Every structure is written in C-alpha cells, then in structure tokens.
Structure 1
Amino acid sequence: MTALVTGTWWMTHRRLAALLRNPAVLAMTLMQPMIWLFLFGELFGKVAELPGFGGRSYLDYIVPGVVIMNAVSLNSFAGMATMDEIERGTLDRFLVTPVRRSALVNAGVIEQALSTAFQSLVIILLGLAAGADYPGGLTGLAVLVAAAVLIGVVLAALSNTLALLVRDRNTIIGLNVMLLLPLTFLSSAFMAKDLMPSWIRHVATANPVSWALDSARAALSDDPDWGSAAAHGSPLLALTMVTVALATHSVRSYQKSR
C-alpha cells in the first residue's frame, strides 16, 4: 500500500507540474463551455416557459448541463496524452521501474479530476455572475462538482484504455467525435426529460451523462431529493470504479505486448 501511495504521489506530481507549466490549456478549454452557457442560455431561454419544464429559469437548468458537458468534452480526449507518452517512449520507461501500474492510472485519474473540478467551479461562478440561482446551496454544488468529476473520470479512463489498446490517434479522435454529441444531446443536459420524445427519454435514462445530471439536479433543487441523488450517483460511482479498473488492466496488457 505504501508503494502504491508513494508511486501515485510522484506520478501525480509529475503530471500536475506539466499542467501548471502550461496553464493556458485549461483557460483555452474553458472557452467552449462559456459559449454554451451564454449562447444557449440566451437562445433557448424561452424553453423554460413550456408546460412541463418545471418552472425554473433556463439558465438555472443549463448550468449543470454545461458543467457536465464540459467534463465529458474535457476528458474524452485524455487518451491523446497517453498516446504522446507511448510515442515518446515515456510510458515504456516507467513500466521498467518499480512503480505500480495502478499508480500510473491513479495519477491520470487525479489529474483529470482536479482539472474537471477547477473548470466546473469556474463555470458555476460564471453562471452565478449571469444570474443563475443554486437553491441547493454549497452542498448541492458539491454534488454537481463530484458528479462532473465522476463522469469525467469514466470518459478519461475509457479514452486511456482505447489509447493503450489501439495505439492510433485517428481511431481515438474518430470514436470520440462519434460519441460526444450523442452522449450529450441524448441526455437531460439541455432539455427536461418530460419534453423529450419517448425514445430519446428512454435512451437518456440509460445514459451515464444523465445519471450525473439527475444526481446533481436532485441535490440542487429547492427541496433536495437526496434519495434520487444517491440513486443516480451510485451507478455512476460503480461505473467509475469499473472503468478505472479496466484502464489499469489495459496498462498491464500493454506491458505484456511490448
């Protein structure tokens, strides 16, 4: 256990140091969610007046959607960093050291989690500046950030698994582009489920992105529904653990193939 913690610490420190040397990356990736927040918030503001929407302002509704959508977009291409390490030979050098394979995966998970949490907080503050209301208070916002981190880790782990297995940038890019919009728009990110066509509503119910959104919105409501938040958050947490374990197994499979 001590070796795992120590290895995770040093691998995480290495990743965060590289990230802090280029903070412009985080700032640039915030441009897209800012456009979603302010453009969609204004463009579709009247949607909140439709019967069945729930009576809240569309800005209040869309902030969690933008937070989760940003987490999905930010983490879907995490495998590209893994491809960089494979191509430079960095990963191969780490694999001949005593560092645990799970420590390599944990470091990536922690880096993505911290990046996602930071950007989620920035989006929340931007929403607050634009006039969004968060009835669930700090506890509800904490659940929103946690949900964003979990769905982000799921996508990052899957992206890294894909990079380790196929080792081809075009495949990673193509698959992510193919899945990104369906994952987002076949969820409750921008439209209440009661207003969706029946088939989209059924797909959204089984979509992990909706699990994150439903958990966060249940915690952010005027009267937080903690039972619903837990019911949607539990399978998301289980899926996170499965995908991280899959990424760890993929590192070992990659090592055996060298």
Structure 2
Amino acid sequence: MENNSLEKPLILEERPPKTTPVNAALTFAWRALLRIRYIPEQLFDVTAFPIIFLLMFTYLFGGAISGSTGEYLNFVLPGILVMTVSMITMYTGLDLNKDIEKGVFDRFRSLPIWQPAVLVGALLVDVVRYSLASTIMITLGYILGFRAEAGFIGVILAVLVILFFSFSLSWVWTILGIIVRSEKALMAISMMLLFPLTFLSSVFVDPSTMPNWLQRFVEINPITFVVDASRGLIHGYDVTSELLTITYISLGLIAVFGTLTMYFFRNKE
C-alpha cells in the first residue's frame, strides 16, 4: 500500500497544470515572508531605523533649525519618511545577491514558471516592509506631536506616492544585485548612491537656504520631488506638478531598470 501511494504521482500520464504568473509571484512572495518569520532580525531596518532617525533629527537639530522641535517635526517627518523608505529599498538587491551566491538563483531560473515571478514576488514583500516602516514612522510622529493639516486622507495619499516611487527605485538595486559579484560591494555602491540623493535634498531643510550651486542639484533630485509631494499631500497644498514629475520618473525607472533586470536575469551565466 505504501509503495503504491508513492508510485502513483510518478506514473501519472497527465502533467499537472502549469502555474499562473500570479500564483508564481505569490509563491515567491510567501517564500520571502517565511524568511522574515524565521529570521525576524531582518525587520530591524524597518522598525528601529525610522525611530532612531526621527528622534535624532527632531531633538538634535529641530531647535537649531526651526527654533521649535514641534514645528520642525511637522516639517521633517515627511522628509525622513521618504528617506527611510528609499534607503531600505537597497535590501531588495542584497537579498537577490545572496540567492545568487548560494546557487538558489540558478535553480529558480530552471523552473517552468513565469520567470519575472522570482523578482515580482520579492518586490511585493518589500512593499509590505515599506508600509510597515511608514506606519511606525507616522505613529511615532503622532505620539511626539506631529499633526497632518490635510488629515488622515492626506497621510494615506502621501504614503501611496512614497510606496510607488520606492517600488520603482527597487528595480535599480535588482539589476545591481545581479551584476555585482559580492554583497559587500553592492552595499558600498548602494550607500554611495543613496546618501547623496537623500541628504542633498529637501528632507531636512528648505532648499532656498542653500547656496545657489547646491540648490540646482537639490531642485532636480528625484528625492526632493517625492519629499515635496509628500509634504504637500500631508499638509494640504497643491503639488500637482511634483506628482506628475514623480510619475514620469517612477515609470521611467521601471521601464529602463525593469527591462535591464529581466535581460540580465535570463542571460546571467
């Protein structure tokens, strides 16, 4: 009886139905969630990191920059929210790079599935991580005295804009995760790109207070557009032009780096 039950799946004449792209992507998303379940320390970047940054910049620099920590909190929280979520996007590439080093990557490519599901599933879980970081940041902000002039709807819209931009930015790190040969090198490259983008922006101060030569860079920095749009949505002023710019930038990142990622994903030796 036992041998017959084991042999039965092996002698089926009909092959099982091929999985759909949606099911394949959800399966890889579940794999990423299980990794977090068994290694919860992976959530340190989306739990402790936002808290440390918000407390540090609000109470160390708030009084010096705005003369009031409460006033500065209302200004800086949307900026730190964008900065925090943008910086943790690099872990998408780091996780992919680990799979490549361990040989799991080659196994995935050999499976008879929709190949982008490997990356899409991981990115879906990353959106969950970004949402968790945003929730922690906003909750802490309200505890400290932050108030959104546009109310709860404005906060939700701002978070959605940040998640959309972060999803598109993640594709930059996926291609680097495939190309770069070590995790340490990828971490160094990510920091080298992210620190200028996040710190040389409107995250912490109004660009009008900067030297003219620096203002030119800050004003065309994609992070600045996301920060300004988030502030506008949260505090209730018009940011239509910023939203259009973010849409163009995000779709461009997905089109360019998403295409390149899939090319290198299929052709990596």
Residues 177-216 of structure 1 aligned to structure 2 (within 5 Å)? 177-216=191-230
Q: What residue number does 2:100 align with?
A: 86
* Cα pair 2:50 2:136 within 8 Å, conserved: no
* Cα pair 2:100 2:106 within 8 Å, conserved: yes
Q: What residue number does 2:91 align with?
A: 77
Aligned length: 249
Gaps of 5+ in 2: 1-18
Structure 1 residues 46-104: Cα deviation after superposition (integer angstroms, max 9, x where no partner): 32259xxxxx8100111111111111221123211111111221111111112212212
Structure 1 residues 168-193: Cα deviation after superposition (integer angstroms, max 9, x where no partner): 22321221121222111111110112
Q: Are 1:238 and 2:251 an aligned pair? A: yes
* Cα pair 1:158 1:243 within 8 Å, conserved: no
Q: Are 1:45 and 2:45 an aligned pair? A: no
| Deviation for aligned residue 1:29 | 4.2
* Cα pair 1:162 1:172 within 8 Å, conserved: yes
After TM superposition, what 4+ stretches of structure 1 lie above 3 angstroms from structure 2? none
How far apart in 2 are the matches of 1:257 and 1:231?
A: 35
| Pair 39,15 (structure 1): closer, same or farther in 2 beyond 3 Å | same
Gaps of 5+ in 1: 51-55
| Deviation for aligned residue 1:242 | 2.4
How far apart in 2 are the matches of 1:242 and 1:65?
A: 26
Q: What residue number does 1:116 align with?
A: 130
Q: What residue number does 1:23 align with?
A: 40
| Deviation for aligned residue 1:130 | 0.3
Q: TM-score, normalised by structure 1?
A: 0.87
For the pair shown, the structure with the greater C-alpha radius of gyration is 2
| Pair 197,229 (structure 1): closer, same or farther in 2 beyond 3 Å | same
| Deviation for aligned residue 1:7 | 1.4
Q: TM-score, normalised by structure 2?
A: 0.84
Q: % of aligned pairs identical?
A: 24
Q: Are 1:176 and 2:190 an aligned pair? A: yes
